[in-house]
A and B are shown apart, each in its own frame.
Chain A
Amino acid sequence: DAEITQSPRHKITETGRQVTLACHQTWNHNNMFWYRQDLGHGLRLIHYSYGVQDTNKGEVSDGYSVSRSNTEDLPLTLESAASSQTSVYFCASSEQVSGWDTGELFFGEGSRLTVL
């Protein structure tokens, strides 16, 4: 079965360190997204990609970067981790249909990041 996997599922790091969260999907979807989930804020979009070599900033992109070198992977990098980036991070993908994205997202199980 197709799936979307995230790693690591849990990570503790220190302020100032670089952290990379991996996301791998086998749906063969063009669109991939990174969201963060915080209490009282729901899910907020960090970065997204509509295909290989395409990346775009979302609502809360400061301090984060992504790269898309193939269809399957969209790693999220925190250049210099800050305590405000303690959160649960979700990767998602979706299929683009006839130029219009239906918006139906398929989610990974999340990566819980703690920055001390």
Chain B
Amino acid sequence: AQSVTQLGSHVSVSEGALVLLRCNYSSSVPPYLFWYVQYPNQGLQLLLKYTSAATLVKGINGFEAEFKKSETSFHLTKPSAQMSDAAEYFCAVSDLGSSNTGKLIFGQGTTLQVKP
């Protein structure tokens, strides 16, 4: 069965600093991987997704993530944090299973704090 582990429930960076949010997955089949962002009192919205094309995936708001099969990782990065990036971030893997119809399995989430 697939699973997702996000390392660090809280990450704090200064404005302009590198953002690195870590995600490791477990999957017996080639996975689809996702990063979602949740702003306060809102639903989740898709940042980016990996579906077995390019291993470096670019998303919205300057975020990108790199799929590394050897490390079973899909870490999210952004070169320069902005105050508006403060939110909760979820990594997810698609549970393709035998029915070939996926549903997402989410990590526990990482809260990103951006300090001025």
Contact = CB atoms under 8 A, between A and B. Distances in A.
Interface of A: 31, 33, 35, 40-45, 48, 50, 58, 90, 92, 96, 99-105, 107-110
Contacts of B102: 100-103
Contacts of A41: 108
Contacts, number: 72
B100 A33 contact: no
A48 B51 contact: no
A40 B10 CA distance: 11
9 contacts: A42-B109, A43-B90, A43-B106, A99-B101, A100-B96, A104-B49, A105-B44, A105-B104, A109-B43
B32 A102 contact: yes
Given A42-B107, A109-B42, A104 B34 contact: yes
Contact of B108 (A42, A58, A96): A42
B105 to A, nearest CB: 8
B34 A110 contact: no
Nearest to A9: B41
A24 B32 CA distance: 26
B70 to A, nearest CB: 23
A96 B103 contact: no
Given A96-B101, A103-B104, A108-B43, 18 more contacts: A31-B103, A33-B104, A42-B90, A43-B104, A43-B106, A45-B104, A90-B43, A92-B44, A100-B102, A101-B96, A101-B100, A102-B94, A105-B44, A105-B46, A105-B104, A109-B41, A110-B41, A110-B42
